[in-house]
């Protein structure tokens, strides 16, 4: 499973989303697979384009994009990831 989290230093929702992602991935013992990308950098922008990420915060699980409406709700995120893991 490939996990990528896209964030930006100016994003007001990124810290809360990042916290949820880290806590829930730790619960599933997947935190070590998570890679972080800052979309304000050249490398982050290139990777976001490759993954078809349109904004931050965004989590990409394998090739599927999970957007902030789910990332900001810990229960929705847990259910979303549980469905992909099991």
Whole-model pTM: value is 0.94
List per-residue pLDDT tens for the chain, 86 residues long. Answer: 899 999 999 999 999 999 999 999 999 999 999 999 999 999 999 999 999 999 999 999 999 999 999 999 999 999 999 888 76
| Contacts with 26 (C-beta within 8 Å, 6 or more apart), sequence order | none
Are the beta carbons of 39 and 53 closer than 8 angstroms?
Answer: yes
Q: How many domains does the chain have?
A: 1
Range(s) of the domain holding residue 14: 3-79
In a domain, 85, yes or no: no
CATH number at residue 25: 3.40.30.10
């Amino acid at each position: 499973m490939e996990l990528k989290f896209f964030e930006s230093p100016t994003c007001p929702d990124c810290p809360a989303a990042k916290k949820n992602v880290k806590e829930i991935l730790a619960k599933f013992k997947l935190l070590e697979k998570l890679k972080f990308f800052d979309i304000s950098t050249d490398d982050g922008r290139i990777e976001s384009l490759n993954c078809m990420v349109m904004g931050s915060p965004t989590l990409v699980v394998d090739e599927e994009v999970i957007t902030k409406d789910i990332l900001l709700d810990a229960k929705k995120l847990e259910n979303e990831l549980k469905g992909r893991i099991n």
